[in-house]
Structure 1
């Protein structure tokens, strides 16, 4: 069972569940990627980014202090200046033109400007004694889950919990798909990104931004799976939920003539298997560790919060000038769809 399916039942298990859950407004939508394509203007494909406003073309490890360089954050917890980003979703019409799919804020944060829902989980879901201990990420920590070049189910198997939900309503958390849902979704499509939860304890990053972290040896974080000996340090389960408003594109007469689903990632992927997300840690001082140690549920008294109005005011300037809205003849970056 996937974590987001279980999260739907958290009201029943709140005393035994330790996690933070908070909304983050959109910071910017640009073709920038300081993790995979540092210094490159523009990067290979379009991303939607949330978090601290120190986000930039280059964020060099050891030199770019996200906390010190940020003056605001789009996240509810005002001590979180981390940056989180994913590819953006496009609809490809039968005539071959493209339109960017907007994002839907989830229930309870409806006035948020786009963005995502972020989770940090500190306990296995049914650890009723809450004995688990996680080590919060360290300054300079960064990681990537998924692979923008993947196009097959077999290739995607190495990433255990990257899924989609074809939503009937905002409450939907099942069933889940590994690739794009093959049918119109009445409530939109939710993309779920769950990051690895075990760390080697020494590297803040590695060349591919993945080798320093690992999934549990067996099972998943929420099922209590143990970390492998190569990556013995248990870190929080970081999860991102993005709801894409595919409802305006549900007329199958506009879909490809062969009936295949019409959505593509900004990387050109029409399968959905290339789903990926990036993370640059930027919590102030030890605020995240304190929250993890407190085993808080959803919110946390140790953390400071800000209003959605304040979140929505936090922005960064456009560093890449190109059309993103309306109907486009090609994807930004002229990425081939395959």
Structure 2
């Protein structure tokens, strides 16, 4: 829990206090052109190996202990980050490692009761400090590179899908021997808690980099060119919580940031398949599927006192989407098959700033400029143009599993030609396109884990397919026959 004021690390280890609301920005002072004030901030954040990404098999008996463990690991990093920001510097790293060792050991023990012991997880307790201006992953992420047709199918994820995540330190390495000490940060400037002014770019200065919008239907002689659109509203009823029923089922506030929901009205941390199947929905065609993503906030300093908000360093008024479009599309190389009911898919990575961009997959743009897509920048849109967030989900399935230990291995992306990897088959590809009316200037950001600094590259979308089988069959038929249906 944050209180009154927190100290920031400045050059030479000095301290400067800032108000709690500065974590996500304050109201603009008279005459300022920015949407919020930018405050001196520590030049480092905390980067820890992603235990959830390395999970492979989680028996049903271990699901709750693993969920609690993953949430505890996030809370431990949260607390260490704020202690570091409060002046403790690198002294937080050894206690953090000890906490993580205990939690990971508990998870390993729970998993090992019914399957092979994942001892490799025990090597993931040590964390490092990461410069906040280093970019996401090795070499950062170039938003201005040319993006060819088919880019939205996640070529980068496909190339790395089967590789174990590379860690930035060796087991047992001193986490403070990673360059500078965070107490010697040179007085770099930025937004306290993020985002930074450098996280925004004027969309009119970006060169067109996409041959087709990320929600366009595939083209080609053998393509399944139809679409199926489901209308589920804009979350006008205010269905919010900070749970994540896919990653941390059974744990309240397991996401540590607030999610926007449309579709299934029963979705929270405790919604099992039976509860979802019995629920009402906001979709007008009877689709009971669950769609959710981190809320977008206006950085006005409004501290909402509820889980996932102010306590977890997500501050500002929640913005209701102007439009939400949920569209399924086909394959470039042939027909698609129905996805099974209760399949769970995550696209993007909530920890991409420290994890690197292997799984990053959200896209940002502005209405009227959607031939210009940004991966690691927020767009500054002209007057009258709306901010656009787009998520393109995995379009290949292994044909067996509705979920996997890390919630990624059972699905993947086709290559740039639309071909699924061996052992995978094409399924309807979901795209979530969300638009917003935002204040002018660098005055908005997505919710995030505190140490991820509200970076746009951490944006992500989640989906649980709860379509009745008959409706899924209709969607597949529309897509394969080249029709556009709702």
TM over 0.5: yes
SS in 2 for 1:287: helix
SS in 1 for 2:472: helix
Q: Distance in 2 between matches of 1:208 and 1:94?
A: 35
Structure 1 95/58 Cα, relative in aligned 2: closer, same or farther at 3 Å?
Answer: closer
Structure 1 204/94 Cα, relative in aligned 2: closer, same or farther at 3 Å?
Answer: closer
Counterpart in 2 of 1:332?
none
Structure 1 263/270 Cα, relative in aligned 2: closer, same or farther at 3 Å?
Answer: farther
Per the TM alignment, residue 46 of structure 1 is displaced from its structure 2 partner at its CA by 0.2
Q: Is 1:139 paired with 2:341?
A: yes
Determine if contact 2:347/2:359 at 8 Å carries over to the other structure. Answer: no
Q: Is 1:183 paired with 2:356?
A: no
Q: Which moved more, 1:132-141 or 1:43-52?
A: 132-141
SS in 2 for 1:176: coil
Q: Distance in 1 between matches of 2:357 and 2:437?
A: 24
Q: Is 1:75 paired with 2:273?
A: no
Determine if contact 1:145/1:277 at 8 Å carries over to the other structure. Answer: yes
1:164 maps to which of 356, 364, 381: 364
Q: Give matches, 1:31-110, under 5 Å.
A: 31-43=242-254, 44-60=256-272, 63-64=273-274, 66-67=276-277, 69-70=278-279, 72-78=280-286, 80-93=287-300, 98-105=316-323
Structure 1 264/9 Cα, relative in aligned 2: closer, same or farther at 3 Å?
Answer: closer
SS in 1 for 2:474: helix
Q: Which moved more, 1:184-193 or 1:271-280?
A: 184-193
Counterpart in 1 of 2:466?
282
Per the TM alignment, residue 101 of structure 1 is displaced from its structure 2 partner at its CA by 2.2
Per the TM alignment, residue 143 of structure 1 is displaced from its structure 2 partner at its CA by 1.4
Per-residue displacement from partner, 1:65-88 (whole Å, max 9, x unpaired)? 633x12x3212322x100010001
Per the TM alignment, residue 262 of structure 1 is displaced from its structure 2 partner at its CA by 3.5
Q: Distance in 1 between matches of 2:404 and 2:216?
A: 36
Per the TM alignment, residue 103 of structure 1 is displaced from its structure 2 partner at its CA by 1.1
SS in 2 for 1:45: coil
Per the TM alignment, residue 275 of structure 1 is displaced from its structure 2 partner at its CA by 1.1
Q: Distance in 2 between matches of 1:82 and 1:155?
A: 30
Determine if contact 2:447/2:454 at 8 Å carries over to the other structure. Answer: no
Determine if contact 1:262/1:270 at 8 Å carries over to the other structure. Answer: no
Structure 1 288/16 Cα, relative in aligned 2: closer, same or farther at 3 Å?
Answer: closer
Count how many residue pairs are aligned between Structure 1 and Structure 2: 255
Structure 1 296/166 Cα, relative in aligned 2: closer, same or farther at 3 Å?
Answer: same
SS in 2 for 1:177: coil
Greater RCO (Cα-Cα under 8 Å, separation 6 or more): 1
Q: Is 1:225 paired with 2:418?
A: yes
Per-residue displacement from partner, 1:281-313 (whole Å, max 9, x unpaired)? 10112321233124353325xxxxxxxxxxxxx
SS in 2 for 1:86: strand
Per the TM alignment, residue 6 of structure 1 is displaced from its structure 2 partner at its CA by 4.1
Counterpart in 2 of 1:214?
412
Per the TM alignment, residue 94 of structure 1 is displaced from its structure 2 partner at its CA by 8.5
Q: TM-score normalized by structure 1? A: 0.67
Q: Is 1:119 paired with 2:327?
A: yes
Q: Is 1:234 paired with 2:436?
A: no
Q: Distance in 1 between matches of 2:253 and 2:372?
A: 36
Q: Distance in 2 between matches of 1:98 and 1:234?
A: 40
Going by fraction, where is helix more abundant, 1 or 2? 2
Q: Is 1:298 paired with 2:479?
A: no
Larger radius of gyration, structure 1 or 2? 2
Q: Is 1:198 paired with 2:393?
A: no
Q: TM-score normalized by structure 2? A: 0.48
Per the TM alignment, residue 194 of structure 1 is displaced from its structure 2 partner at its CA by 0.4
Per the TM alignment, residue 37 of structure 1 is displaced from its structure 2 partner at its CA by 2.1
Give the superposed CA RMSD: 3.0
Structure 1 95/101 Cα, relative in aligned 2: closer, same or farther at 3 Å?
Answer: closer
Per-residue displacement from partner, 1:16-50 (whole Å, max 9, x unpaired)? 73111233112612222211221222331100011
